[in-house]
Amino acid sequence: MMYSLKNARSAKLPRLAALLVAVAGLGLAGCDDHAGDPKMQIGANPELPALQQYLMPPMRVAKVVGWGKETPTVPEGLQVHALATGFQHPRSLYILPNGDVLVVESNGPKAPIYRPKDIITGWVQSFAGAKAKDANRITLLRDTNGDGIPEMRTVLLDHLNSPFGVALIGHNLYVANTDAIVRYPYQDGQTSIDAAGTKLTDLPGGPIDHHWTKSLLASPDGSKLYVGVGSNSNVGENGIGAEYERAAIWEVDVASGAHRIFASGVRNPTGLQWEPETGKLWAIANERDEIGPDLVPDYLTSVKDGGFYGWPYSYYGQHLDPRIMPQRPDLVATAIAPDYSLSSHVAPLGLAMYTGTGLPANYRGGAFVGEHGSWNRTPLNGYKVVFVPFSGGKPSGPAQDVVTGFLDANNHARGRPVGLAVDKNGALLIADDVGNTVWRVSGSAPKPAS
Amino acid sequence: MQQHATIVETSFTRDADLRPVRRPRGRPIHRMLVSFSAAYFAGALVTDLVYWRMPDVMWERFSIWLITAGLIMAGLATVAYVIDLAARRRIDRPAWPRAIGYAIAVLLALTNAFVHSRDGYTAVVPTGLTLSTLVVIVLVLTALVARALTNRHRFGV
């Protein structure tokens, strides 16, 4: 009898332990973020708080609800409608000289599991629509009469390998798959390409391929291609060997396929564009995660030949990141602070320097930025298209919200903006990879006098 | 043959030990699982120490998988403990110091799993390495204290 009594007492212990574990878990998850106002981080000199390290990094993805009958919201003087719907994860856009719109439908390669964390991350991100069925093709839309409703829709290229960047030089169409740039012959007005592509050069691909999107931009004379190659990790946790020639902007010689590193230390450069006034190369970049809701701000910057922008050793110049060992004080000393902060975790993935005439004149010369939106910050940040005014080849004021409504009142995602392009009539096109739509923002017809 | 041996052992135990009539049956499962988890946590300390001296990500990955395996084993050990109680299998006595020490070690290891899930060097140095060391110290102390108590009171031999 005494025996069973003792048993009953000690049986409480595992339960107590289980309770303690559960309470500890809740405590960790409930940590307050104290996220600051993103407005304090817009522009040339963002406020940079002290870095913090988490026990359990926040993961907050907006639940996907779709658009239903809703459309994005635009300010007065603009109107928006769906150019086309029913895509599979449209990520980037490219306009051909005849006005045809190329929609790159793409998704990343399957991420390998290196740590238990990778299982959890993959699971959480699947809620954000990142694991949608991937088409890996380029769809062509043709709107001959310019009314914003395409009369023709064909598949230009199919069975690609996680494509993102597209660039046309003469009669050669270059497609940046995640692991190579491939050249296809293209004739004006062509609506489907059957020819097998020719590989121009390999790009850093798998097996990790953490940042898989390879953006592409041709030089004005058509002799060079610039390629945005993202890092293979958040902050070098897959080993510095995995980062060979990554977190960089490549300059590829079109004739030979040879390349050199044009700029480095840019964690995930996309949206390569020529600034119209100065002709300089500009890019947007996604900065590192897990050191706070307000670190590190994503940015828009001019890209200097030979420039080093800090990753992974430092951010915004000489702010050291303790998570990388061994450190490189020699490189950190040369690190360039980017030109313009877009605030933290907005995830810019589309850039369009506006030179058209279809939108009101105040947008001319400035930059539109597609902010895919945060997944690890409370409150959410991004999920919109902003406009950064430029003057004299440099950003000249705070970013303004232009296309919003990607989140509904409950902070559920109707869609998420990614790649941007300006069509032949000067309308802004937005790829929405969660709403699976391409939106077209144009100047509204003058209102009748009332 | 086996039946015969069992009978002999049983009768011998009864003769030697004048404890109550109801006695535990069979070998407890949880003890083996506890040993497994302790071995995993000790392994994580070794890989942490190697990473500290030579920061190659391979060692950090070893550590987090070892800690995770240790935690899974600890979870299974908890389940097995309940089953052992229900089946009235033999529990090492005294139970309290062992259970408290083990619970502290597992909670530290759980925290350590989160620390080791950080990216890069600070997943290990200094917090992760410190926690790995603490887990092993707590496990060793628990074993020593439990053994000392067992010997003193001749519990559960």
CB contact under 8 A, A115 and B78: no
Name which of B22, B61, B114 is nearest A3 (Cβ-Cβ): B22
- The residue among A2, A7, A124 with the most chain B CBs within 10 A of its CB, best to mutate, is A7
User: Cα separation of A281 and A258, whole Å?
Assistant: 20
A35-58 burial, b if ≥16 CB within 10 A, otherwise e? beebeebbbeebebbebebbbebb
User: Cα separation of A434 and A90, whole Å?
Assistant: 8
Query: What is this model's ipTM?
Result: 0.84
For helices B30-53 and B95-116, give the axis angle rounded to 10 degrees: 40
Residue A442: closest CA among A352, A357, A370? A357
Condensed to tens digits (0 to 9), the pLDDT of residues B58-83 reads 999 999 999 999 999 999 999 999 99
Position A27 scores a pLDDT of 42
Beta-carbon contacts of residue B129 (< 8 Å; ≥ 6 apart): B48, B49, B51, B52
CB contact under 8 A, A24 and B111: yes
pLDDT category, B94, cuts 50, 70, 90? confident
Checking A114-122 for CB contacts under 8 A at 24+ apart, the result is A114/A208, A114/A238, A114/B61, A115/B61, A115/B64, A115/B65, A115/B117, A116/B64, A116/B65, A116/B68, A116/B113, A116/B117, A117/B64, A117/B117, A121/A59
Position A233 scores a pLDDT of 96
pLDDT category, B2, cuts 50, 70, 90? very low
Q: What is the mean pLDDT of each run of 10 residues along chain A (450 residues)?
A: 36 43 44 77 95 87 91 96 96 97 93 90 71 81 93 97 97 98 97 96 94 97 98 96 97 98 98 97 97 96 98 97 96 98 97 95 96 92 97 96 96 96 96 96 68
CB contact under 8 A, B119 and A322: no
3-state SS assignment for residue A370? strand
Q: Does residue B1 surpass a pLDDT of 70?
A: no
Model confidence, pTM: 0.88
Q: What tokens appear for A91 in the block?
A: 């990520």
Quickly tell me which residue has 């690190």 as its tokens.
Answer: A335
The reply to whether B56 touches chain A by the CB within 8 Å rule is: yes
User: Cα separation of B127 and B137, whole Å?
Assistant: 15
Q: What tokens appear for B125 in the block?
A: 């140095």
Name which of B19, B103, B122 is nearest A13 (Cβ-Cβ): B103
CA distance A5 to chain B (A): 11
- Percent above pLDDT 70 for chain B: 80
Cα A88 to Cα A68, A85, A105, A215, A220: the distances in Å are: 17, 9, 6, 19, 32
Find the residue in B nearest to A7 (Cα). Answer: B85
Q: Does residue B14 surpass a pLDDT of 80?
A: no
User: Cα separation of A103 and A107, whole Å?
Assistant: 13
3-state SS assignment for residue A424? coil
The reply to whether B95 touches chain A by the CB within 8 Å rule is: yes
User: Cα separation of A262 and A356, whole Å?
Assistant: 29
Find the residue in B nearest to A242 (Cα). Answer: B57
CB contact under 8 A, B103 and A17: yes
- C-beta of residue A369 within 8 angstroms of C-beta of residue A42: no
User: Cα separation of A331 and A327, whole Å?
Assistant: 9
Domain ranges of chain A: 60-443
Q: What tokens appear for A131 in the block?
A: 């694991």
Checking B142-145 for CB contacts under 8 A at 24+ apart, the result is B142/B97, B142/B98, B142/B100, B142/B101, B142/B102, B142/B105, B145/B97, B145/B101
Q: What tokens appear for B62 in the block?
A: 């070893």
Q: Which amino acid is at A383?
A: Y
Q: Does residue B36 surpass a pLDDT of 60?
A: yes
Quickly tell me which residue has 């490219």 as its tokens.
Answer: A94
Three-class SS string for chain B? CHHHHHHHHHHHHHHHCCCCCCCCCCCCCHHHHHHHHHHHHHHHHHHHHHHHHCCCHHHHHHHHHHHHHHHHHHHHHHHHHHHHHHCCCCCCCCHHHHHHHHHHHHHHHHHHHHHHCCCCHHHCCCHHHHHHHHHHHHHHHHHHHHHHHHHHHCCCC
Cα B131 to Cα A21, A25, A47, B107, B152: the distances in Å are: 16, 17, 33, 10, 31
pLDDT category, B154, cuts 50, 70, 90? low
Chain B residues closer than 8 Å to A236 by CB: 119-120
Give the gyration radius of chain B's Cα atoms. 19
Position B151 scores a pLDDT of 78
- Sign of the four-CA dihedral A175, A177, A181, A182: negative
The reply to whether B100 touches chain A by the CB within 8 Å rule is: yes
Residue A349: closest CA among A432, A442, A446, A419? A419
The domain A60-443 is classified under which CATH number: 3.40.50.1000, 3.90.550.10, 2.120.10.30, 3.40.228.10? 2.120.10.30
CB atoms within 10 A of CB A83: 23
Beta-carbon contacts of residue A42 (< 8 Å; ≥ 6 apart): A341, A342, A343, A398, A399
Cα B32 to Cα A110, B76, B78, B122: the distances in Å are: 38, 10, 12, 33
Checking A276-282 for CB contacts under 8 A at 24+ apart, the result is A276/A353, A276/A355, A276/A365, A277/A365, A277/A390, A277/A392, A277/A393, A278/A393, A279/A220, A280/A393, A281/A217, A281/A226, A281/A249, A282/A351, A282/A353, A282/A367
The kind and range of the H/E element at A13 are: helix A2-29
Q: Does residue B18 surpass a pLDDT of 70?
A: no
Cα A6 to Cα A434, B29, B146: the distances in Å are: 59, 19, 17
Quickly tell me which residue has 């990520």 as its tokens.
Answer: A91
